[in-house]
Amino acid sequence: MKNALKFYIDGEWVDPAGSTRLDVIDPSTEQPFTEIAMGNSADAERAIAAARAAFATFSLSSLTEKIDLLQRILDILLRRNDEIGDIISKEMGAPAKIARSSQAYMGLAHFRKAIEAARSFEFEYMQGTTRILREPVGVVGMITPWNWPMNQMACKVAPALATGCTMVLKPSEISPLSGIIFAEVLHEAGVPKGVFNLVNGDGPTIGAVLASHPDVDMVSFTGSTRAGISVALAAAPTVKRVHQELGGKSPNIVLRSADFAAAVSAGVRKCFDNSGQSCNAPTRMLVPAERMDDAIAAAVATADAFVVGAPFEVDTDIGPVVSLMHFEKIQALIQKGIDEGAELVAGGPGRPAHLNAGYYVRPTVFARVTNDMTVAREEIFGPVLTILGYETDDEAVAIANDTPYGLAAYIQGEAEDARAVARKLRAGQVRINSSAWDGAAPFGGYKQSGNGREYGKFGLEEFTEIKGVVGYGE
């Protein structure tokens, strides 16, 4: 990849200020396959200055100009979709069929939704004699994770461009190559100089500068709750806007009115999607206590049917997790579940027997879990499901809400029953009966799962300031 050792700043691919490099590891082989440049504070400062200078003009561009830009980006993303999917497979281990149809596709989806939202968004309107203006918030520092790289870059960059913001993006250094292709796409689309900038590096170096810099008006962060707290602390002295989408431990309540075996099977598949590396994965399945044995049977049958293997194998359902550090964390938590008395009914510690290299995790199911166990409390971020029993719907709700997180929740059952339960759950998004993804629905969390919302018009709102011009209509 020709630009792997460069950064995209002020409309050009430039050499980094320092000489530090980092290997990019293929998690299916545990071997490096390329390297990237790692930025320092001077690189971040240069990118922020370019974004600040560009804001003066880009913030005044017309809606038509911005929508045309978004459309050009969308067209190029569509052309490069398979290439993006393949590099995501290589850098973070997603099976190729999923990387193309889901991982890379999310970039297309978010730009489409941003275009739709921008066309109907009320950027200004009259309220009596006062004119209400929604203006771009300014320079945005964006820090994105490794697990859904294109999704998280697109759902921040698209609304930022639509509202007239300028930005500096720091993708995850674990899965950085999709970000480099993304920058190439924006360059080809003709993004004005300085509007979009990309600097690779780690959180304590580049991320800290973006969060703390006085010329950055907003920081948009997606990642762990622990890292999100650090970002918020760094941003506090400059009183900038902090938008965060953080961790989750999402409940999946299977009601008595559900098509039981189908609901359990669907819940297992959703939990194991992307090797369990999704912040909104339904990792806590709640089932009626009297149906626990039925739930175990359906969950084990589904888990055992998953094919774990190399990302580019046609039959692979679950690829490796992203890194050795992450693999070891998951293994420790699986062992913790066993030690604390959770009933291991599928999977368990170690790699699948047919694989002798790569960060592969066995699809694992714990049953008869109680909500005080570590595997029910901590975000494991791997293909590990916990099944808990409940006696009444109210108890199910209480267990579901008994978590520091509140990103997502899931309910399976007859529509009327599910709607009633949905209103009681403390989560930013509730999905009923394995409903399809909605790219215009607000996405974000309650409690320690973050603040603010992404997607569609809600994403546009996050990147605007509200101004009231009093007396405008007099």
Residue 41 buriedness (CB in 10 A; 0-12 / 13-18 / 19+): middle
421, 359, 357, 408: which is closest to 379 by C-alpha? Answer: 408
Partners of 136 in the β-ladder: 464
49, 37, 40, 45: which is closest to 10 by C-alpha? Answer: 49
* C-alpha span between 445 and 448 (Å, rounded): 7
* C-alpha span between 52 and 242 (Å, rounded): 18
Could you tell me how many helices (H) and strands (E) the chain has, helices first? Answer: 16, 20
Choose, from 155, 271, 279, 454, the residue flagged as catalytic: 279
Amino acid residing at 28? S
* C-alpha span between 388 and 292 (Å, rounded): 8
Q: Could you give the residue ranges of the DSSP H alpha helices within 138-236?
A: 149-163, 177-189, 208-212, 225-235
Choose, from 245, 379, 454, 462, the residue flagged as catalytic: 245
Q: Is 279 a catalytic residue?
A: yes
Q: Is 271 a catalytic residue?
A: no
Helix (H) or strand (E) holding 304: helix 292-305
* C-alpha span between 10 and 8 (Å, rounded): 7
What are 371-378's contacts with CB under 8 Å, separation 24+?
371/284, 371/399, 371/402, 373/337, 373/340, 373/341, 373/342, 374/333, 374/336, 374/337, 374/340, 375/333, 375/334, 375/336, 375/337, 375/340, 375/342, 376/249, 376/284, 377/249, 377/403, 378/249, 378/333
DSSP assignment of 322-383: S-HHHHHHHHHHHHHHHHTT-EEEE--SS--TT--SS-----EEEEEE-TTSHHHHS---SS
3-state secondary structure 115-129: HHHHHHCCCEEEECC
Catalytic positions, written as ranges: 245, 279
